[in-house]
Amino acid sequence: MQTKSITEREIELNEREKHIIEITQELYSQQRALLRLMRKISKDQSEKNKKAPTIDQVLERFIIKIGKDNEETNRKYNTILRYIKMVGLSVRNKYSELHNETTLLKIINTITNRDDIKGDQKLRHMRWITSLIKFAVFAYPDMYQSNVLIGLPAIKRTPKSARRPHTPYSDAQLKRIFDPSKKFFHKYPDIFWGCMLALFTGSRKNAIFTLQYKDIVQKEGIWCINFIEDCPGIKKLKTEDSERAVPIHSMLIKMGFLDYVQHKEHSFDTDFIFQKICLNRRGGLNAHMTRNFFNFLKQIGIKDTSSGQYDFHSFRKNANITMEKCGMIRSYIDKIIGWISRGSEGERSYSNYTIKQLSEQLELLHYSCLRYEFRQWKKIMTSPITCDEQNDGPDEIS
């Protein structure tokens, strides 16, 4: 084995020393670069925190986007504010304190545990919260992520069996609603005619307020309303039996319904009789088409109870009850209202009633408690029509 000389060993050690120095210098350079990077990240984070919006700033931009000075928007804004306070936050807090799974879970639990609102309303409140979260991701893509919504528990809809039933109006309540001295129907004549149609046909609000001019037709020489599902996305009937032709009661004709429809058809460029009520600003179906009527009920002291609720659907209940009281045959009532016939077996087997037969039965219907009110509204509605001056109708939602 050859032994290295002292000179060779010295050269080898010098080479190793140079290599170690080079490695040390490289490590030092990397350390300096890492330190500069950490300082930059810290500075960027500090600047980002300074620019991070507050809850109030994000919420304000959200409200502007969905439409300000709108009754439904204000309701949405106030509801979101309420839940923010319920989980211990203020609008002055950084928005990031709201935009995280922990806070959102607290809000969901708060909504779920509320006993003063029903399941459908809880779902709506949660949709408003998630809309705000999604907007923040859209408005500040570098700051917030939508994955905070993944895996959050869902709020259950109230089972139909647990919902409060629709309550028919009493005679006194009907008189209060149609009191001619009240200005509500003067401001919203479309809603007035919607209520009249509900009383004399028992139809649902969606079926009434999505009617088109072509749905008012003559059959067998009798003016009728064609309730038909022929406009996807707008007109929707609940069952097959809801698709039907219903004669227009003579009281509605005397009060000027056909004249009102004819006037609107010649005055407005639209297919829908009640367009300002049934459509939102984007041309879609307005989910809150009777919101103004519901507010009117509250104003005149007609409020929901623990055993039932009053709304537009209550007219359907009134129509059914009053038709029976007036002696109309059960199977005819079902045909007019749009239900599966509950008449006798013989009546059910022969359900192809003529329009004339339906009209003769429907003419038995009268609301004796509203004779005075109907006389007054006849004078009002057959005077020069001012439907083109009516309010824009219920506000839309986002």
Q: Which residues, in sequence order, are bridge partners of residue 245?
A: 226
Alpha helix ranges (H) inside 216-306: 250-254, 257-267, 275-278, 291-299
385: nearest Cα among 147, 243, 186: 186
pTM value?
A: 0.67
Amino acid identity of 313? H
Instruction: Please report, in tens digits, the pLDDT of each residue of the chain (398 residues total).
Output: 566 677 877 788 888 888 888 888 888 888 888 888 887 776 655 555 557 899 999 999 998 888 755 667 888 899 999 999 999 999 999 999 999 999 999 999 999 888 777 777 888 899 999 999 999 999 998 889 888 998 888 887 766 656 678 899 999 999 999 999 999 999 999 999 999 999 999 999 999 999 999 999 999 999 999 999 888 888 888 777 788 999 999 999 999 999 999 999 988 888 999 999 988 877 888 878 898 999 999 999 998 887 788 999 999 999 999 999 999 999 999 999 998 765 544 444 445 789 999 999 999 999 999 999 999 999 999 876 554 444 444 433 32
Taken in order 74, 75, 78, 84, is the CA torsion positive or negative?
negative
For residues 178 and 203, give the distance between their C-alpha atoms in angstroms, rounded to a whole number. 19
* Pairing relationship of beta strands 222-227 and 216-219 according to DSSP bridges: antiparallel
Q: In Å, what is the CA distance from 296 to each residue of 235, 260, 279, 286, 289?
A: 25, 23, 20, 18, 13
Q: How far is CA 11 from the centre of its chain?
A: 86
Residue 397: the pLDDT is: 31
**Are 362 and 326 a contacting pair, CB within 8 Å?**
no
Q: In Å, what is the CA distance from 326 to each residue of 105, 343, 361?
A: 55, 16, 10
For residues 86 and 79, give the distance between their C-alpha atoms in angstroms, rounded to a whole number. 11
Beta-carbon contacts of residue 147 (< 8 Å; ≥ 6 apart):
none
Residue 216 is inside which H or E element, if any? strand 216-219
For residues 355 and 336, give the distance between their C-alpha atoms in angstroms, rounded to a whole number. 10
| 12, two tokens | 């080898």
Residue 30: the pLDDT is: 86
Amino acid identity of 98? L
Q: In Å, what is the CA distance from 241 to each residue of 44, 157, 335?
A: 65, 26, 8
Task: Return the half-sphere exposure (C-beta side, CA atoms, 13 A cut-off) of residue 128.
Answer: 25
